[in-house]
Structure 1
Amino acid sequence: MYILLYKHLLSCCSSQLSQTEDRRMASLVSVLLTTFLIFTIIASASVNLSESTRSFTIVNDCKETIWPGITHGESFNGGGFSLKPGQSAVYTASPGWGGRIWARTGCNFDKNGNGTCQTGNCGTSLNCTRPGNPPASLAEFSLGDVDFYDISLVDGFNLPMIVKAINGTGNCSTVGCDGDLRQNCPSDLALKANGKVIACRSACEVFDSDEYCCRGTYGNPGTCLATNYSKSFKQVCPAAYSYAFDDPTSLTTCSGADFIVAFCASRNQTVCSYHDKQLACNQSKGIRPISQGWWVPMLALPLMFKILVIF
């Protein structure tokens, strides 16, 4: 449509000018119309980019296989795949997507995809049919004009994890853990299998009290405060929810970002993922390897040259 409009204007204006002005003015009109066309296309492309899908690169930095779970999973249907140590996968979400990503551990599925997991279990099949069972570390997202994201340990902890925003604008800080809570889990919260701590349960799940579950008279930020249990969670994962009203240091906002969700990673390390035969690391802005605006000056160069020729 833009090209047809451009051709019509160019033909009309050049015809009129050739009768009243010299060729130099006609060439200048050509340059101006071409400039108008380019910037109209750029404006259109910017709108399309703002409405584009988002990518979530899910990385397994653990020494064990994990089975990611995704609620409201669109392209992955709730999960249904495994990641061996060092592997990664890309989940694509539509604009406005909201949901959770977590890891299942200690899973055993048969050839038909039926089975269970030690932590993060979400039904009896490889594809999650419901949210994961606690205890499980959760990455939570709500995408829109402004994206909200966090790591939540309110339902307990099964693996250290982080979320890094890539190429976004705003705060866009990294959230999650600096260590592994399983190594220092309070003994009365520890979940064990074969004598090994495989997860750290929440105090709410273990004691089922209003104080620890932030309910009843404790159901507001003024009365539900940090406890010794939540403080032990916060010490290991300072940029994560340790209890229900732990908002000030836990909820983060960003706009227009893609995300890396890395398990068994820490906030201060470089997280790399390998997907489609390409290596991408969080310290590089190269998940989009070429800037989306590189072609603007390239289009402008011929126009500059043509103006110089005219004058």
Structure 2
Amino acid sequence: MLAPTGWSGRFWARTECSFDGAGKGSCTTGDCGTGGMECKGNGAAPPATLAEFTLAGPASAKDYYDVSLVDGYNLPMMVDARGGAGGCASTGCVADLSRRCPSELRVGDACRSACEAFGKPEFCCSGAYANPTTCRPSVYSQMFKSACPQSYSYAFDDSTSTFTCSGADYTITFCPESAPR
């Protein structure tokens, strides 16, 4: 896919999908709620591992990218930056978090976030917890972070999880070989 300058968006995988001959259906994880194969601009329903991008635009010469577990985890993912300048790093989560997922977060082979599971402001970084001073990592986000140290584990996990690069081509790999399933 060739994205235009200044584009911002997310990529994710949908799993356990079932579609009929007319393209109608749904997926167990990452479903986008359209009832069809195309998401038509809709986002992923949690739990879903996300690759997030903001490509350089008029106000910035840098691309920003990350792999996020804030909306849960449904499969391992890597983002590789190639050919760019400015310390372009690979990032992602190759660990199989479905094997480490606590029972209270487990949904089949996926792992919900604590926000999705419990809906409490302290897990969702909302209300009184909607800033980096009051929103702290939970025991659940720390579990995600220990398994995938370069991935977002909660809303304000910027310092170790946001990467920048200029002029790179990006490759997203779902289920890299190093992650047993």
TM-score calculated relative to the size of structure 1: 0.54
SS at 1:149's partner residue? strand
CA distance, structure 1, for counterparts of residue 166 and residue 65 of structure 2: 11
Amino acid at match of 1:142: T
Q: d(CA) in 2 for partners of 1:218 and 1:121? A: 28
Task: Specify which structure has the higher proportion of helix.
Answer: 1
Partner residue of 2:68? 152
TM-score, scaled to structure 2: 0.92
Name the structure 1 match of 2:53: 141
Question: Which structure has the larger Rg?
Answer: 1
Partner of residue 293, structure 1:
none
In structure 2, what residue type is equivalent to 1:92? Answer: L
Query: 1:239 corresponds to which residue?
Result: 150
**Is the partner of 1:173 in helix, strand or coil?**
coil
1:178, CA displacement in angstroms? 3.3
Report deviation, 1:175.
1.0
Work out which of the residue numbers 93, 113, 122 in structure 2 matches 1:177. Answer: 93
Q: CA deviation at 1:216?
A: 1.6
The yes-or-no answer on 1:264 pairing with 2:175 is yes
Q: What SS is found at the alignment partner of 2:176?
A: coil
Q: Which of structures 1 and 2 has the larger relative contact order (alpha carbons within 8 angstroms, sep 6+)? A: 2
Matched, 1:230 2:141: yes
Q: Could you tell me the percent identity over the aligned residues?
A: 53
Provide the residue aligned with 1:99 in structure 2: 9
- Which residue in 1 is equivalent to 2:44? 132
User: In 2, Cα distance between the equivalents of 1:157 and 1:132?
Assistant: 11
Q: Please say if residues 94 and 175 of structure 2, whose CA atoms lie closer than 8 Å, have aligned partners that are also in contact.
A: no
The SS at the match of 1:265 is coil
Give the 3-state SS of the residue equivalent to 1:229 in structure 2: helix
Cα distance in 1 for residues equivalent to 2:94 and 2:15: 20
**1:182 is paired with a residue of what secondary structure?**
helix
Whole-angstrom CA distance in 2 between matches of 1:263 and 1:237: 15
Off by >3 Å, runs of 4+ in structure 1: none
Partner residue of 1:189 out of 105, 110, 120: 105
Q: Is the 1:178–1:238 contact (alpha carbons within 8 Å) kept by the matching residues of 2?
A: no
Moved more, 117-126 or 171-180: 171-180
CA distance in 2, matches of 1:249, 1:215: 21
Equivalent position SS for 2:74: coil
Residues in 2 aligned to 1:191 and 1:93: alpha-carbon distance in whole angstroms: 33
What is the CA–CA distance in structure 1 between the aligned matches of 2:35 and 2:94, rounded to whole Å? 32
Q: CA–CA distance in 2 between the matches of 1:178 and 1:125?
A: 29
Find the aligned partners of 1:160 and 1:141 in 2 and give their Cα distance. 17
Separation (CA, whole Å) in 2 of partners of 1:113 and 1:124: 8
1:109 is aligned to: 19
Residue ranges of structure 1 left out of the alignment (5+ in a row): 1-90, 193-197, 270-311
Cα distance in 1 for residues equivalent to 2:79 and 2:124: 25
